[in-house]
Structure 1
Amino acid sequence: MSVIVFGSINLDLVFPVSHLPAPGETVVGPLLRFEPGGKGANQAVAAARDGARVALAGAVGRDPLAEHALSGLRSAGVDLARLAFVDAPTGCAAIGVDAEGRNQILVAAGANRAARASQVADQDLGPRTVLLLQGECDLGETAALAQRACDRGARVVLNLAPFIALPRETLAAASVLVVNETEAAALAAQLGLAAEALAIARTLGTAVVVTLGAEGAVLVDAGAEVRVPALPVPVVDTTGAGDALCGVLAAGLARGLALPAALRRAVVAASLACTRPGAQAGLPSAAEIDAALTGAFTAR
């Protein structure tokens, strides 16, 4: 099986600072790092590093930022045949990271809003495909692709990050919904439910994963709840942790793992991503995930 990601591609401007600014506050840091990013790109790289065959459909600008934004995808061997170059500027994010690894993120969508569902052909979608979606591209295009993939038998993993209010039928088309606690609360409010994974899963008839930061994640599938703890690791930067989880979850499903086993692997990957700086730079390899699963990994 293969993984197709329809999602955002950004250039990240990373500002390491002593503390994150309050409203109206200016915080001066020692340096600035330029790194490839975007949720779609990060998740595609995460899946590829875990050994999946990955293609990404998205859009970048015809500007000097584009090649830098694509560099991590190219290094990871992600298939970019479905990439569009458009007149809008390449997406960009400003990320502040404090001494405890916490972050604040501002994103300019730019070219990401020009990505179209039609970049993924019908023949790309089927029972041997895992389609991975997020919330940084056009809502209508994301919804259309999710529904088309579901209709053709593909397995759809939908990460509602940042939260987007998709139609209920689109949410129900997902095989797996992945949300953090804030996104789960927003989704529950949209559906008129209590902010609980079980209530969301029962209402939509789909598996739901709620990520819990340092506490790991909880999965509700067919009414059964599985809690997966995070690894106890020294936290350097949490920026790419959620994307590591989503990408490795999709990779695990593509290699045929059952959902609980795929989530366990994904939570381990997210934990490891917190031990080093950067979004794509911090994503672990399959060997590192394997070592951590057997207790043999040492954070570097």
Structure 2
Amino acid sequence: MILIFGAILMDIHVTLDQDQTLPPRCHSASSYHIGVGGHAAIQALAAAKSGARAALIGQVGDDHYGKNILLRLRQRGVITSGVARHESLPTGTIFTMGRQNPQSIMAFGASAKANIEQIPREIVETQTILLLQDELPAKQNTPVFKRAEEQGARLIFTPTLRTSLAEYDLSLCDDVIIPQAHKSILPAGLDANIITIKENGDCIYEEKGQPPRPVNIKEPENFQHRDTDGAFDAFCGTYAAGLSNGFSLEETLSRAVIAAKLTSAKTGHHETLPYLDEINDWMKNIEQK
């Protein structure tokens, strides 16, 4: 099983009619979208849609927004029994506004109360994969790092530099997945598998003591990358799913790259994550060639 610990947010995206350097008192917007947000929630969704048992752990508010998010996740196969409903804090929110250069504001709300006590020791063992991000503060994440080490679980850390990595003991990680733009931040000599994600979804896999292994998947003719926002989470969730499902490393990496590419080929939000049959169809084309 995959346990995904982290932020569960309501995602509000407002597309402005036009960007302005000095914003007026009131903006006009042509459209807006409300959906599921938070790296943990999106990665859990990607893992579940890739056919894995994925359990999300975090907190939402005892409100309409939290209930709606959990319903959407359950409908797509995510196990949400580990998500608590906070009595007084609202569901966390990420608010993004703009068109060409959108800006975001994140209010953690109930997600700020997610904690290690929500992960019972008895469900963490050697076959468990713990998937974490750095969206929540290190003080919430580091106890989970230690729990993974104590119970012999596999720990996959997927930082996007929301916080300083200096607060983390990265030696406890089995895998670190990071965007190429941030790769230089990782300390030298890190004793973990490092997976660097390129902007087009391809990756470089580095195992300590081994030469880097690039994974480049050829794209169909006329393929276009339209929106890369969700591609990183698609890769992370699908990579964890491949490991959990017992695929070889080569197939796991290929599936994760394909998921990232399929996600970036669409515009939207959590709805752009591919289903298992979409990934399988692309894999069949690779095998036939």
Q: Same fold (TM over 0.5)?
A: yes
Q: Once the 2 structures are TM-superposed, how far is the Cα of residue 234 of structure 1 from its aligned partner?
A: 2.0
Q: Once the 2 structures are TM-superposed, how far is the Cα of residue 293 of structure 1 from its aligned partner?
A: 1.9
Distance 1:22 1:162 in 2: 27
**Residue 125 (structure 1) aligned with residue 124 (structure 2):** yes
| Deviation digits for residues 225-257 of structure 1 (CA, Å, limit 9, x no counterpart) | 111225533233222111101000000011122
The answer (yes or no) to whether the contact 2:201–2:231 under 8 Å persists in 1 is: no
Q: 1:238 to 1:231 in 2, by over 3 A?
A: farther
Q: 1:106 to 1:234 in 2, by over 3 A?
A: farther
Q: Once the 2 structures are TM-superposed, how far is the Cα of residue 106 of structure 1 from its aligned partner?
A: 3.0
Q: Once the 2 structures are TM-superposed, how far is the Cα of residue 28 of structure 1 from its aligned partner?
A: 4.5
The answer (yes or no) to whether the contact 2:134–2:162 under 8 Å persists in 1 is: yes
**Residue 280 (structure 1) aligned with residue 270 (structure 2):** yes
Secondary structure at the aligned position of 2:281 is classed as helix
Distance 1:295 1:88 in 2: 48
Distance 2:20 2:200 in 1: 23
- Identical positions, percent: 28
Please, which of 226, 240, 252 is the counterpart of residue 250 of structure 1?
A: 240
Which residue matches 1:216?
A: 202
Q: Once the 2 structures are TM-superposed, how far is the Cα of residue 138 of structure 1 from its aligned partner?
A: 3.2
Task: Tell me which moved more, 132-141 or 246-255.
Answer: 132-141
**Residue 261 (structure 1) aligned with residue 251 (structure 2):** yes
Distance 1:22 1:261 in 2: 46
* Gaps in structure 1 of 5+ consecutive residues: 192-198
Distance 1:51 1:215 in 2: 20
| Deviation digits for residues 60-101 of structure 1 (CA, Å, limit 9, x no counterpart) | 1122321222232111121111111112221111235757xx
Q: Once the 2 structures are TM-superposed, how far is the Cα of residue 3 of structure 1 from its aligned partner?
A: 0.7
Distance 1:124 1:238 in 2: 34
Which residue matches 1:204?
A: 190
Q: 1:264 to 1:214 in 2, by over 3 A?
A: same
Q: Which amino acid aligns with 1:88?
A: L
* Gaps in structure 2 of 5+ consecutive residues: none
Q: Which amino acid aligns with 1:75?
A: Q
Secondary structure at the aligned position of 1:89 is classed as coil
Q: 1:59 to 1:162 in 2, by over 3 A?
A: farther
Q: Once the 2 structures are TM-superposed, how far is the Cα of residue 169 of structure 1 from its aligned partner?
A: 6.4
* TM-score, normalization by structure 1: 0.84
Q: Which amino acid aligns with 1:204?
A: L
Task: Tell me which moved more, 81-90 or 111-120.
Answer: 81-90
Tell me the C-alpha RMSD between the 2 structures. Answer: 2.4
Q: Once the 2 structures are TM-superposed, how far is the Cα of residue 126 of structure 1 from its aligned partner?
A: 1.1
Q: 1:261 to 1:24 in 2, by over 3 A?
A: farther
Q: 1:253 to 1:119 in 2, by over 3 A?
A: same
Aligned residues: 279
Q: How does 1:32-111 map to 2 (within 5 A)?
A: 32-86=32-86, 87-96=88-97, 98=99, 104-111=103-110
**Residue 228 (structure 1) aligned with residue 215 (structure 2):** yes
Distance 1:226 1:22 in 2: 44
Q: How does 1:167-206 map to 2 (within 5 A)?
A: 170-185=169-184, 187-188=185-186, 191=187, 199=188, 203-206=189-192
Q: Once the 2 structures are TM-superposed, how far is the Cα of residue 184 of structure 1 from its aligned partner?
A: 2.2
Distance 1:89 1:205 in 2: 39
* TM-score, normalization by structure 2: 0.87
